[in-house]
Amino acid sequence: MGVIKIGEIAEKFRAEWAVKDLMPKFIECYNAEQQGYNIRMTVIKSLAAVMPVLQKDQITEHVVPIFVKACGDSVPNV
């Protein structure tokens, strides 16, 4: 439910807000060493919900690096 809402919020506040305020928090949450896999999964699903409001270059710069990092995650479901 929260992932759906974050997508709706991003639609209201637009791409500039998502890049400026939301992306740094996503990156921080995903990169934290003590985070459980459920937090990493939530970040990935939230990114997918926010991507429709982002421009291609913003996706390339901010989202793709997290997805690439997720490809090497030790938890297969991530």
Closest among 35, 24, 32 to 63, alpha carbons compared: 24
Please, what is the average pLDDT of the chain? 89
In tens, the pLDDT along 53-70 reads: 999 999 999 999 999 988
CB 3 within 8 A of CB 46: yes
Asked if pLDDT for residue 74 goes beyond 90, the answer is no
What global pTM score does this model have?
Answer: 0.84
Confidence of residue 36 (pLDDT cuts 50, 70, 90): confident
**The pLDDT of residue 34 is above 80:** no
